[in-house]
Amino acid sequence: MSGLNSVAVFCGSSNGIDDSYVQLARALGDKLARDGITVVYGGGNSGLMGAVADAAMQAGGEVIGVIPGGLFGNGISADGVTRLEEVDDMHARKARMYELADGFIGLPGGLGTLEEVFEAATWSQLGLHGDKTKQVVLLANDGFWDPIHQLLDTATDAGFVRTSTRGIVSAASTIDEAIEQLSG
């Protein structure tokens, strides 16, 4: 995986979701670990967040969680990850995750996930990730992200998103496809 040493995974932290999403998250964590790619994530132990981290750790991978200090009081910090970094707030959390990652994968999630993937993409568009554009790949095998891609295409057609930057956010329906896009 030339140039791809770490991937930040943005995803839902809610429990009680469809098991197919949990299985995708577990498979992603496992694959990243087996490929020697460090998983960077939001530091929680619930929902898809916990599933990704758990699977990566079980496969012997390196997992770095980044969590705002106040969230520890809610009992949602991860146990047993390689490194858990506590930061001051959500803004610092995202900035640190962006700094640690070579690219980003968005799994299904809610408002927080949407905000994270779009901010990471915006930082790439603005050149705030340093000397390289960092790709955001939205991964789902059931069309979960299709409306987002339709919206981005509409925004591009309307001139709000430049054609040259539309490719920062791409789609993948398999884990291998997502990793390939980030590696390319």
Res 29: pLDDT: 98
Q: List the structure tokens of 30.
A: 């496992």
Q: Is the pTM of this model over 0.85?
A: yes
- Return the percentage of the chain with pLDDT > 70, whole number: 93
Instruction: Count CB atoms within 10 A of the CB of residue 88.
Output: 10
pLDDT per residue as tens digits for the range 129-160: 877 789 999 999 999 999 999 999 999 999 99
Confidence of residue 62 (pLDDT cuts 50, 70, 90): very high
- Rounded to whole angstroms, the Cα distance separating 161 from 106 reads 20
What domains can you pick out in the chain, each with its CATH number? 12-183 (3.40.50.450)
Confidence of residue 1 (pLDDT cuts 50, 70, 90): very low
pLDDT per residue as tens digits for the range 158-167: 999 999 999 9
pLDDT per residue as tens digits for the range 104-121: 999 999 999 999 999 999
- Residue 34 per-residue DSSP state: H
CA angle 105, 176, 138 (to 5 degrees): 25
Q: List the structure tokens of 168.
A: 């920062």
